[in-house]
Amino acid sequence: MNQNTPNGSPLLPDNVSLAEQKQAILASIIATSDDAIISKTLDGIINSWNPAAERMFGHTEAEAVGKHISLIIPHDRLGEEDIIIGNISRGRKVDHFETVRMTKNGDMIPISVTISPITDNSGRVIGASKIARDISIYKRVNEKQGMLAAIVDGSDDTIVSKTLDGIITSWNKAAERMFGYTEQEIIGKHISLIIPPERIREEAFIIGEIFNGRRVDHFQTIRQAKDGRQIPLSITVSPIVDGNGNIIGASKIARDISEHLSAQEEKARLFEQVKALNDKKDEFIGLASHELKTPLTSINGYLQLLSSLITDEKGKRFVDKTRQQVKKLNALVSDLLDVSSIEAGKLRFTEERFDIVQVIENVIELFAHSNNNYHIKLETDITELYINGDAHRIEQVLNNLLTNAIRYAPGSNQIIITLGREKNDVKIGVRDFGVGIAPEKLKQIFSRFYRVDETNPNVSGTGIGLYLSKEVITRHNGKIWAESEPGVGSTFWLTLPLEK
Ligand code: ADP
């Protein structure tokens, strides 16, 4: 029977015997093998040397045949040859013996070698054939794998891998520490072993993402240890891809975030504590102002009576001065009461239709009366403009702005108020020529109790006026803000929606 090539032509001529054909095929296999195939006598003299041996060890066939096999054995391994020959002489094969051999230029290569006895027709061992495979690549892969395994095992993060069906395929030391299951116990088990029952649906989501080649990043969840302990974790799950690009499983890196969580919980607890204290303080301010209000009202009443009874000029002046101070005290207490109402969400507004021009004119008149060296000018050509809201509260805002415009402009006696329409709003500006406000402070001046330290250390105040003003204006669906240039002056702007 002839060996045919795929196109049908005979591999060897017909007149070649079967034995010869077999010989030729074997020769061709040896010549094309990737493994080095060498044969030698029992004395160790090389008598055949295939091309792979040439490539592996660097000696050509001509150079190697006839030489002793020690040609490729490192000095420190020469003893191995005696053991091998000992085995072969007794007809025993040496299988997958891992050793090191030397190339022509002195390099050492790790090989796996199988040595079999060669027998003659009578069955006598006459030599040895040696098939050697260069295993440096496996060695390197092994070393790399060993290194990776050491990294994974040494990691403080839990690293686990599983198949797409959820069967655990690897489990590092940190996973053992975290969950209490040993590697032997858990490999081959289903991942649901560490998932609390109420979270089992998460697994379907994670596997769904992995199946589509997506990574699940920093997923915060809870897993369960062997002793039932619930552990808050942040996990990152990535697909495991085989050499052909198929997703065959998932690797999971988990980090215990209980400490992180407890820091967060501690922060939340402190925040609650501060908030509770703050609420207590607001409650006290509200209560105290309320208690102050009653005696103040009666002091005011009695002073009024006293003023009408006293005929002596000096006495009248003193009573008037006392009444002015009581008025200031009363305003302060009212402001404090308002602050506590805002904080408690209880600041109430009345709603009426009123002419804003009229309100501005009233405020100006009142100010001109008590500050007669001041020029407060209203610049507008509008004579009346109606809005809906609490006229008394709007008046309070304008009062605050004018008080500040006087208070923080010690060297000036001029204030300009502008009034205009802008779309559906009225826009009012209160401009002074005072100390001004640094740009970085402008946003803060509307905060509760905030005062700009350097404005004027001698000017008394509470830091309530602008906070109240902002509340009043925003509750009217308007806006309030300031523009200022230190040393030049400030303009406080507000807008309020016009009546519809
Ligand atoms: P108070 O005037 O009682 O301190 P406000 O809430 O009315 O409280 O004002 C807050 C801070 O804003 C003031 O302390 C002051 O530093 C600054 N400020 C307000 N109005 C002016 C202004 N017209 N010019 C300069 N600074 C001002």
**Per-run averaged pLDDT (10 residues), the chain, 500 residues:** 43 67 84 91 93 94 95 92 89 90 94 91 90 85 80 86 92 94 94 93 89 89 93 91 86 86 82 86 84 90 91 91 91 89 86 96 89 89 95 95 93 94 95 94 91 74 92 96 95 94
Query: Is 401's C-beta closer than 6 angstroms to any atom of ligand 1?
Result: no
pLDDT of residue 66: 96
pLDDT of residue 11: 52
Q: How far, in Å, CA of 484 to CA of 463, rounded?
A: 18
Among 92, 99, 97, 137, residue whose Cα is nearest residue 119 = 92
Distance 389 CA to ligand 1 centre (A): 25
So where are the chain's domains? 33-134, 140-256, 262-343, 352-497
Question: Would you give the DSSP letter of residue 11?
Answer: S
Q: What is the pTM of this model?
A: 0.51
Find out whether 314 and 358 touch, Cβ atoms under 8 Å: no
Query: Is 444's C-beta closer than 6 angstroms to any atom of ligand 1?
Result: no
Query: Is 404's C-beta closer than 6 angstroms to any atom of ligand 1?
Result: yes
* Cα angle 211, 216, 219; round to 5: 140
In a 3-state reduction of DSSP, which class is residue 67?
Answer: coil
Query: Is 446's C-beta closer than 6 angstroms to any atom of ligand 1?
Result: no
Instruction: Report the number of secondary-structure helices (H) and strands (E) in the chain.
Output: 13, 17
- Dihedral of the alpha carbons of 360, 363, 367, 369, in degrees to the nearest 10: 110
Atom of ligand 1 at shortest range from CA of 492: 23
- Dihedral of the alpha carbons of 8, 13, 14, 15, in degrees to the nearest 10: 180
Distance 284 CA to ligand 1 centre (A): 25
* Mutate which of 328, 335, 408 for ligand 1 pocket (most atoms within 8 A of beta carbon): 408
Atom of ligand 1 at shortest range from CA of 466: 6
Residue nearest to atom 21 of ligand 1 (CA): 404
Domain 352-497 is of which CATH architecture?
2-Layer Sandwich (3.30)
pLDDT of residue 379: 96
Among 126, 133, 136, 43, residue whose Cα is nearest residue 81 = 43
To the question of domain 262-343 being in CATH 1.10.287.130, the answer is yes
Atom of ligand 1 at shortest range from CA of 489: 24
* Mutate which of 402, 442, 445, 473 for ligand 1 pocket (most atoms within 8 A of beta carbon): 445
CATH number given to 140-256: 3.30.450.20
Atom of ligand 1 at shortest range from CA of 461: 3
Listed in sequence order, the residues at least 6 apart from 207 whose beta carbon sits closer than 8 Å to its beta carbon are: 164, 166, 250
Fold of 33-134: Beta-Lactamase (3.30.450)
pLDDT of residue 14: 59
Taking CA atoms, 364 is separated from 117, 342, 420, 457, in Å, by 122, 27, 17, 27
Query: Is 466's C-beta closer than 6 angstroms to any atom of ligand 1?
Result: yes
Query: Is 467's C-beta closer than 6 angstroms to any atom of ligand 1?
Result: yes
Find out whether 469 and 445 touch, Cβ atoms under 8 Å: no
- Common-topology check for domains 33-134 and 140-256: yes
Query: Is 408's C-beta closer than 6 angstroms to any atom of ligand 1?
Result: yes
Query: Is 396's C-beta closer than 6 angstroms to any atom of ligand 1?
Result: no
Among 494, 488, 368, 357, residue whose Cα is nearest residue 432 = 488
* Mutate which of 339, 454, 455, 464 for ligand 1 pocket (most atoms within 8 A of beta carbon): 455
Query: Is 455's C-beta closer than 6 angstroms to any atom of ligand 1?
Result: yes
pLDDT of residue 401: 97
pLDDT of residue 6: 43
Listed in sequence order, the residues at least 6 apart from 406 whose beta carbon sits closer than 8 Å to its beta carbon are: 367, 371, 374, 415, 432
Half-sphere exposure of 196 (CA within 13 A, CB side): 13
Query: Is 161's C-beta closer than 6 angstroms to any atom of ligand 1?
Result: no
Q: DSSP for 127-163? A: EEEEEEEE-HHHHHHHHHHHHHHHHHHH-SSEEEEEE
